[in-house]
Amino acid sequence: MTEKIKIAVAGARGRMGSETVRMILNHPEFELVGAADTKYDGEKIADKIGILGTDARIYTDIEQLFTATAPDVLIDFTNPESGKHNLQQAIDYGVRPVIGTSGFTNEDVAVFKEQMDAKKLGGIIAPNFAIGAVLVMKFSQLAAKYFPDVEIIELHHDKKKDAPSGTAVKTAELISKTRQAKIQGAPDEKETLQGARGADYEGMRIHSIRLPGLIAHQEVLFGGKGELLTLRHDSMDRASFMTGVAYAVKTSMALDTLVYGLENVLD
Ligand SMILES: NC(=O)C1=CN([C@@H]2O[C@H](COP(=O)(O)OP(=O)(O)OC[C@H]3O[C@@H](n4cnc5c(N)ncnc54)[C@H](OP(=O)(O)O)[C@@H]3O)[C@@H](O)[C@H]2O)C=CC1
Ligand SMILES: O=C(O)C1=N[C@H](C(=O)O)C[C@H](O)C1
């Protein structure tokens, strides 16, 4: 029998971290060896998120987590600052990082990738693990070749701390690879209320909506002469991210570099 992949989860008490713990416990090829979070050092993660089936403990120090549990993979769903710290520690300890935390820039990715290439360490940073969201990004990249006028609307729950979403930024980055550069809207348009036209990414506008009741949603609107193309994805449940997280864990075991974006490793 092949050995299970040993996984530690950073941010395990959070919305995504707790869903990830459940996914690992239900996956025949995965073993949860420990968790990192900001409190409850030494206590059982199961007691803190109200599940059964694991004796894995919480560590408030990521280095102690790595030393005590020797994971193959670290899955991180924390916040940008902690995510970068945890990723650096993972590299230093030779643990494969699977990072879902948003807020990584291309410059951040380049710095980590250089270190991982030197160590031949595999890992993935993905702004969105939902397969449908990744497809919307890919379809958007294709559509932008024919429709350079684009606006992105991302809609999230009102506990989300960053704006715009990592998904919206990654979508704009992919679109910019095929979109002919242009200034959108009327050349002489003026905002009479600051921010009305949203954030500006190379002339494309990104609008961030935060409301209770939402989980994670995105619309990419393309305008042409007499026509409008709308691509939309809705995560109605955080389970929507778990197929991608599991895929990234397994894929990272066979990689010897850092990949930014699930679209780069999907078959
Ligand atoms: N890639 C993807 O598919 C997805 C990515 N995300 C991203 O995942 C991240 C987390 O989102 P969400 O689960 O909603 O956030 P939550 O706030 O629900 O969870 C974050 C958890 O991380 C903990 N934490 C903070 N700092 C550290 C640290 N240094 N070490 C370990 N744990 C820490 C927090 O503790 P405390 O509360 O005490 O600070 C909390 O338990 C966000 O960046 C979000 O954008 C979300 C959904 C999907
Ligand atoms: O905070 C969230 O919830 C989400 N964050 C990620 C992002 O910033 O794109 C992914 C998904 O949209 C959910």
- ipTM, two decimals, is 0.99
Q: Specify the pLDDT at position 122.
A: 98
pLDDT tens, residue by residue, 150-201: 999 999 999 999 999 999 999 999 999 999 988 899 999 999 999 999 999 9
Q: Does residue 141 share a domain with residue 198?
A: yes
In this structure, the answer to whether residues 105 and 152 fall within a common structural domain is no
**Residues 19, 124: one domain?**
yes
Task: For residues 98 and 205, state if they share a domain.
Answer: no
**145: Cβ–Cβ under 8 A, 6 or more apart, which residues?**
178, 179
> Are 153 and 135 within one domain?
yes
Same domain flag for 31 and 89: yes
Q: Is the pLDDT of residue 22 over 80?
A: yes
Q: Does the annotation list 43 as a binding residue?
A: yes
Mapped onto helix, strand or coil, the DSSP state of residue 13 is: coil
Please indicate, yes or no, whether residues 252 and 124 belong to a single structural domain of this protein: yes
CATH number, residue 221: 3.30.360.10
Specify whether 120 is located in the same domain as 187: no
Q: Tell me, yes or no, whether 138 and 224 share the same domain.
A: yes
Say yes or no: CB of residue 164 within 6 Å of ligand 1: no
Q: Of 23-37, 143-157, 180-194, 216-230, which gets the smallest average pLDDT?
A: 180-194
Looking at the structure, tell me whether residues 162 and 47 fall in a common domain.
no
Domain of residue 25, CATH code:
3.40.50.720
| Ligand 2 pocket, Cβ-based, cut-off 6 angstroms | 102, 127-128, 156, 160, 165-167, 216
pTM of the entire structure?
Answer: 0.97
Banded pLDDT at 267 (limits 50, 70, 90): confident
237: amino acid identity, one letter? D
Q: Which atom of ligand 1 is nearest to the CA of 244?
A: 3
59 lines ligand 1 (CB under 6 A): no
CB of 17 sitting under 6 A from ligand 1 = yes
Question: Would you say the CB of residue 60 lies under 6 angstroms from ligand 1?
Answer: no
Q: Please tell me the predicted confidence (pLDDT) of residue 1.
A: 66
Number of folded domains that form the chain: 2
- What is the domain range of residue 216? 131-236
Instruction: Report how far residue 212's alpha carbon sits from residue 239's, in angstroms, rounded to the nearest whole number.
Output: 18
The CA-based angle 199-202-107, given to 5 degrees, is 90
The pLDDT of residue 109 is above 70: yes
What is residue 152's predicted lDDT score, i.e. its pLDDT? 98
Mean pLDDT along residues 137-161: 97
Count the neighbouring beta carbons within 10 Å of the beta carbon of residue 174.
19
Nearest alpha carbon, ligand 2 atom 13: 216
Distance CA 259, CA 238 (A): 23
Q: Is 130 annotated as a binding residue?
A: no
What's the rounded mean pLDDT across residues 262-266? 96
Mean pLDDT, the chain, rounded, equals 97
Q: Give the per-residue pLDDT at 266.
A: 93
- Among protein residues, the one with the nearest Cα to ligand 1's atom 48 is 128
The pLDDT of residue 82 is: 98
pLDDT of residue 2: 82
DSSP letter at 70? -
Q: Is 70 exceeded by the pLDDT of residue 256?
A: yes
Alpha carbon nearest to ligand 2 atom 4, residue: 216
Q: Are residues 143 and 65 in the same domain?
A: no
**Which residues are catalytically annotated?**
156, 160
Of residues 63, 24, 64, the one with CA closest to residue 42: 64
Q: Cα(186)–Cα(102) distance, rounded to whole angstroms?
A: 32
